[in-house]
Amino acid sequence: CLCQPCTRCGDQCPGFRVHGWRKICVHCKCAREEHVVRSVPGQLEKMMTKLVSDFQRHSISDDDSGCASEEYAWVPPGLKPEQVYQYFSCLPEDRVPYVNSPGERQRIKQLLHQLPAHDSEPQYCNSLDEEEKKELRLFSQQRKRENLGRGVVRLFPVTMTGAICQQCGRQICGGDIAVFAGRAGHGSCWHPQCFQCSSCSELLVDLIYFHQDGQIYCGRHHAERLKPRCQACDEIILADQCTEAEGRYWHMKHFCCFECEASLGGRRYIMRESRPYCCACYESLYAEYCDSCGEHIGIDQGQMTYEGQHWHAVESCFCCARCRLPLLGRPFLPRAGLIFCSRPCSLGEDPDNSDSCDSALQSRRVASAPEKHPSRGTSTDNDCRNWVEKTSPVLQGIRTHAHFTHVQFHNCNCNLP
């Protein structure tokens, strides 16, 4: 337990307490790196020391790993004080790791996110069998041997004509500070602010990169290019089989409801913010309530929506607030949180006294929404895609339907090239 509050949830989270296997906080369900960490966790420090040691063993560079100073929590190695200042002046202010600053906290957050300890060391993983432990060690060793590198910061020689930044394509001139990556090829260099992961576009923390197919990546996204990552436990999937749904992957046993953790294999589920929920939990947590009858709208029930209001898509609920005329498939007039069939009804008058405007209202073309049906093997979030055609000042409501997805099981043959 890091016992630090969540930067996203504030006082609602009493402090980080790790979930049994998800690597999230049991209180707020945010990731560990979203919580305030004022110093590098012990396990990460050990892993970083080993990572740098492995890099030096596999690298022709004799530079050290960078160190702290009185002003900065970390600086690129081998630079004079004025060059350190020149390097950090190229970065956004909130990314400069001044001691006890937002930049230092951002560095720790990125160390946790970009270099997950469970991508390298079996002891940080959940319930690996001996064969999987062996495979993870081989996977980690191969990545370090063939892909791991650390950028070197130095002044571009003034005697040379300059080079092109590999990220932005702009010129790097003689005397400019630049980052060089040996695995990317001789002369490959970047502006300091451009030395980013090709996948997430985040600055590469402590200049640590993994090179693959001409691109540089952070450790997390490089690993994901080679093997799938479980969306639930955040670990690399080493088993022969996994669950794939909506373009994401899970260990077979981890494809479960994010709330109650009931298995979802072969069951209907609803995806919300990349997290799967069983139908019961989704209804209890996120179901809308009908503005007419006050009851919740089930996921199997159609609904109407307008300006944040919701109704059951039945005649008894979606109807004129005065005369109770059903409004499904009809124009309606919203006023003060209620819906009406005509202007007289909205004014509390007898609807028989309609004027020419109401006749024109009824003659407006009624639009229809395309039918959508769930199909096996497809993926559609049940975030209630509702259609409302605006015919100002009158609106046409369109009935919507709930959608569900189905799990696809397949053999995972994602091996290192």
From the list 225, 227, 222, the residue with the least C-alpha distance to 210 is 222
User: Whole-angstrom Cα distance, residue 275 to residue 252?
Assistant: 15
pLDDT score of 366 more than 50? no
User: Whole-angstrom Cα distance, residue 45 to residue 47?
Assistant: 5
pLDDT score of 372 more than 50? no
Q: Do 42-226 and 289-351+366-397 have matching folds?
A: yes
Predicted TM-score (pTM) of this structure: 0.73
Residues contacting residue 46 through CB under 8 Å, at least 6 positions apart: none
CA atoms within 13 A on the CB side of 369: 20
Question: Which is the CATH superfamily of the domain at 42-226?
Answer: Cysteine Rich Protein (2.10.110.10)
- Amino acid 186: pLDDT: 87
Secondary structure of 33-91 as H, E, C letters: HHECCCCCCHHHHHHHHHHHHHHHHHCCCCCCCCECCCCECCECCCCCHHHHHHHHCCC
pLDDT score of 318 more than 70? yes
In the predicted model, what is the mean pLDDT of residues 327-340?
92
| 289-351+366-397 belongs to CATH 1.20.950.20 | no
**In DSSP terms, which residues pair with 22 in a beta bridge?**
none
Domain boundary assignment for the chain: 1-36, 42-226, 289-351+366-397
Question: Average pLDDT over the chain, rounded to whole?
Answer: 80
User: Whole-angstrom Cα distance, residue 323 to residue 348?
Assistant: 10
- Amino acid 230: pLDDT: 96
pLDDT (tens digit per residue) in 71-98: 999 999 999 999 999 999 999 999 999 9
